[in-house]
Amino acid sequence: MSLMQFSFIIFTFITPIIAGNMGSQRSLSIIALLLYIIGLFGLVQGSSILIPLSAIIIGLGAGSAFSLVMMFFTLRTSSGYEAAELSGIPQSVGYLLAAVGPILFGGVYDLTTNWTTPLVMLIVTSIICLFTGIGAGRNIVIENK
């Protein structure tokens, strides 16, 4: 866990700098989510040798994805007011999922008595996030009308 959090911190600071200098952030979205998915596949594989490496890769992907999502609110609007309006519902839903996620994850583990099913659920969720990130990474500004 500490390996994941340490690598999370590094990319949380680097990704916004890179994203701010790019017109389209699609490639960053793809890289971030592919790192996350590759790390999850490493955990599903189950080798104790791969677990530390997988934790680092997940941290790199999650740190990039989190900071990129927060950047999208300002990159896709033309004022602070619009950014606040745009971020309200997605952040509320995101933090609700973050609150429910561990309970759901643990419940699925209790039902299946293995970690493969919950990890596959995370992989499927990550694939959905990948396509969402590709759409959000387009170089457009959302107008409030």
**Hey, what's the torsion of the CAs at 35, 64, 125, 76, to 10 degrees?**
-140
pLDDT (mean) for 139-145: 75
pTM listed for this prediction: 0.85
| Nearest-angstrom CA–CA distance, 58 and 122 | 11
**What mean pLDDT, rounded, does the chain reach?**
89
What would the pLDDT profile of 59-102 be if each residue is shown by its tens digit? 999 999 999 988 888 888 888 888 888 888 888 988 898 899 99
Asked whether the predicted pLDDT for residue 144 surpasses 80, the reply is no
**Measured distance CA(135)–CA(90) in Å, rounded:** 15
Question: Can you list the alpha helix ranges (DSSP code H) found in the chain?
Answer: 2-20, 26-45, 50-75, 80-112, 116-136
